[in-house]
Each structure stands twice: as C-alpha cells, then as structure tokens.
C-alpha cells in the first residue's frame, strides 16, 4: 500500500475552508453529544528553544481513518508550530498519507475560532481587534472576513514592526482597513470582537478593556502556564470552550486560576442547541479553544480526498 505525501503548499491548495466549516460544525456537535472518551494530548518538554512535543490522535464519527499529529513549537521561528500529520486507515492501520501539519493546524484552529465567533458575537459586530500579529491572527481575520461584513480591524503585537507588517499585508488582501497600534488599550477600544492569539503567560485583557456586548476569542492558552484573559473578566462573561476538562487542565480557565464552574457550555452544545449562547446584546461572551484531535482529522480527511480526486502529491511505499 502506497502512502500519499503532501507538502504545505499542496495542503494549502487542497484545503477548502468554506467546505470544511460545516464539517467542523458537525464534528463539534457529535463530540459534545456522543463523546465516547476524552480528548488526548501527550506533551513532552524539549530542550530550548523548542518548548513542546505533542502527539495527538484524532477520531471522528463517519470518517474511516484516524490521525496522529507530531508537532513541535518554536516561538521564535516562522511558522512557530512545525510538524507532520499521519493519516491511517481505521480498520487496517495502513498509513494512507503523510502531510504537513502546520497549515492543517493553522486552518482548523482559525476556522474553529471564527465558527465560535460568528455564533457568539452580536449580529451587528463589524469591528475586530487582533492581539498577536502571527499566523493565527492572520487566519482568524481572513476567515472571519468570509463570514462577517467587517468594516475595520486593528492589530497589536508586543513587536510593533510585526503589527505594522501585518496591517499592510492584511489591508492589501482584505476589503477594509487594518490599522496597527502600539498600545493594547487603543487597539481594543471600541472593538466589537477581540481575538487573542499570543504566547502570553500572564493575562493582559481585563474587564475595563471589553465594552458591553463584546465577544472575545482566546486561542493562545493551549498548554499549562498560558493565559490571555483575566479571571475577573471571565467571571462576568458567558464562557464557552471546546472541551470542559481540557479548558481547566491546559486552557484559558485553568490559566486564569479558575475551575469548571466558570464554564457555561462547550461549543458543540451551543451549536446543537442544547445550551444557549448569547442571550442579549450587552452580554460579554468568550470562546476559549485548546484545540482538539478530531479537528485535525476532519481537515486532513478533506485534504486527502481532494488529493486523490485531483491526483496531487507523491506516493511512497514505506514497506518496500
């Protein structure tokens, strides 16, 4: 059996974000409704400058395959997350494909973030603040623009030059102005939506920075010791996560020193209608994501099928 090999550029060519969005939605609903076991993330420390090595197995109903992603994080590199995704046949264990995991991770994280943002943000929300001018900030803004008629965006990064380059790049790509700010407070002022995607280990968003009716999506906290939103702001908000247990163990809730009582619902529950999301326009809502294995599988399966249909990629028999 030959294994399909796909590079980052080929994965980017094959992945269709708007087609993947409903598949992710269905997978989140299934996960919260029919979960047969906990999400699994295995983390091991690496010597500096790398900070984590993660093996993530993914399963999803209706997909006859499973995925295992091997990732390492190097915050000073671009891209900062590097790795390979293995796609295996669920019945035989045959290695169906090896593909770049950096684009898969960025795309599925961005799509999940904007799926939750579109679900929880006010329908008239038109302005967004991006905190962290990296890959995730870029993917979230790009995908959100596909779902919402945005009028303007601001961006802040602890490295001002990075924010300035982000603003120039995204302004030329999108049909609305993107402005860089050297002040976090100025960047988030009057924003209807705030998206944080940083490596922060201490909270930097406090209640005074979020006006009534704001929605916040925080994707930075995905391992112990990371935090972006202060506990006091979480407490006065409606908090939705991708996985309750992981949100406490390694996500925004645990990072802020809070427990499961701070969680209103999982994303899948709100999508399925078993839990309410936003109930009034002045409510502050937060989505906290740690990233779940089945997201990788759903995205990889779409890419694998598209590669077969279009005859893209190379093949290698590892048992030869």
Q: Does 247 share its domain with 129? A: yes
Q: Which residues lie below 8 Å from residue 141, measured CB to CB, with a gap of 6+? A: 128, 130, 153, 170, 174, 178, 195
Helix (H, G, I), strand (E, B) or coil at 215: strand
Predicted local confidence at residue 178, as pLDDT = 98
Same domain? 284 vs 156: yes
pLDDT of residue 53: 79
Considering its fold, how many domains does the chain have in total?
2
Contact 244, 263 (CB under 8 A): yes
Catalytic residue among 100, 118, 192, 222: 222
**pLDDT at site 58:** 93
Do 211 and 96 share a structural domain? no
Give domain status of residue 91, yes or no. yes
Q: Cis ω on the peptide bond leading into residue 49 (within 30° of 0)?
A: yes
| Under 8 Å between Cβ of 71 and 108 | no
Over the stretch 146-180, which tens digit does the pLDDT of each residue have?
999 999 999 999 999 999 999 999 999 998 999 99
Note whether 77 and 124 are same-domain residues. no
The CA angle 183-187-190, to the nearest 5 degrees, is 135
Q: Are residues 84 and 134 in the same domain?
A: no
Could you tell me what percent of the chain has a pLDDT over 70?
100
State mean pLDDT over 188-206.
97
Instruction: Provide the pairing of β-strand 265-266 with 152-156.
Output: unpaired
Predicted confidence at residue 73, as pLDDT, reads: 85
- Asked if residues 106 and 79 have their Cβ atoms less than 8 Å apart, the reply is yes
Judge if 117 and 264 occupy the same domain: yes
Is residue 100 in some structural domain?
yes
* Domain limits for position 47: 8-105+293-316
pLDDT at residue 130 above 90?
A: yes
Average pLDDT over residues 274-301: 97
The CATH number of the domain holding residue 164 is 3.40.50.720
Residue 47 confidence (pLDDT) above 90 = no
220 falls within a domain: yes
Q: Are residues 283 and 303 in the same domain?
A: no
Residues 122 and 262 in one domain: yes
| 162: Cβ contacts below 8 Å, ≥ 6 apart | 133, 134
CA neighbor of 8 nearest in space, from 123, 106, 89: 106
What integer pLDDT is reported at residue 78 of this predicted model?
80
Joined together, the tokens standing for residue 246 give 């992981």
Asked whether residue 234 falls in the same domain as residue 189, the answer is: yes
Does a structural domain hold residue 266? yes
* Whether residue 248 is found in the same domain as residue 272: yes
Give a yes or no: residue 2 inside a domain: no
What pLDDT does 96 receive? Answer: 98
Q: What is the pTM of this model?
A: 0.95
Cβ neighbour number for residue 38 with a 10 Å cutoff:
10
- What CATH number does residue 306 fall under? 3.30.1780.10
> Residue 7 burial (CB < 10 Å; 0-12/13-18/19+)?
middle
- Give SS3 for 88: strand
Q: Are 187 and 156 in contact (CB under 8 A)?
A: yes
What is the C-alpha separation between 274 and 257, in angstroms, rounded?
A: 27
100 in catalytic set: no
Tell me: do 153 and 192 sit in the same domain. Answer: yes
Q: Has residue 170 been placed in a domain?
A: yes
Percent of the chain residues past pLDDT 90, beyond the cut:
87
pLDDT tens-place string over residues 62-81: 999 999 999 888 888 888 88
Domain assignment present for 272: yes
Q: Is residue 3 part of a domain?
A: no
pLDDT at 39: 80
Q: Which helix (H) or strand (E) holds 307?
A: helix 293-310
The mean per-residue pLDDT over the stretch 236-264 comes to 97
What value does the mean pLDDT take over residues 89-103?
96
**86 and 193 belong to one structural domain:** no
More confidently predicted of 40 and 284: 284
The SS3 call for residue 82 is: strand
Residues belonging to the chain? 320
């Amino acid at each position: 059996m030959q294994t399909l090999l796909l590079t980052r550029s080929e994965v980017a060519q094959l992945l269709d974000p708007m087609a993947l969005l409903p598949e992710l939605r269905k997978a989140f609903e299934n996960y919260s409704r029919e979960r047969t076991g906990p999400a699994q993330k295995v983390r091991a420390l690496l010597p500096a400058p790398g900070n984590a090595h993660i093996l993530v197995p993914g399963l999803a109903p209706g997909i006859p395959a499973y995925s295992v992603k091997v990732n390492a994080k190097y915050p000073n590199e671009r891209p900062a997350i590097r790795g390979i995704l293995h796609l295996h046949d669920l019945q035989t264990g045959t290695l169906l494909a090896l593909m770049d995991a950096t684009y898969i991770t960025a795309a599925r994280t961005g799509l999940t973030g904007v799926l939750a943002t579109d679900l929880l943000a006010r329908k008239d929300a038109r302005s967004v603040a991006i905190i962290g001018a990296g890959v995730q900030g870029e993917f979230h803004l790009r995908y959100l623009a596909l779902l919402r008629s945005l009028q303007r965006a601001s961006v802040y990064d602890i490295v001002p030059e990075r924010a300035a380059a982000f603003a120039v790049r995204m302004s030329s790509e999108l049909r609305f102005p993107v402005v860089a700010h050297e002040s976090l407070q100025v960047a988030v002022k009057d924003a209807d939506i705030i998206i944080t995607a940083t490596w922060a280990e201490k909270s930097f968003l406090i209640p005074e920075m979020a006006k009534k009716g704001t929605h916040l999506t925080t994707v930075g906290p995905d391992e112990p010791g990371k935090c972006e939103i202060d506990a006091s702001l979480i407490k006065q908000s409606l908090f939705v996560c991708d996985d309750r247990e992981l949100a406490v163990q390694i996500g925004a809730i645990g990072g802020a020193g809070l427990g499961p009582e701070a969680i209103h619902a999982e994303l899948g529950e709100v999508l399925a209608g078993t839990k309410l999301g936003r109930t009034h326009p002045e409510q502050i809502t937060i989505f906290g994501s740690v990233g779940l294995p089945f997201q990788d599988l759903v995205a990889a399966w779409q890419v694998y099928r598209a590669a077969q249909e279009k005859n893209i990629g190379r093949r290698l028999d590892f048992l030869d």
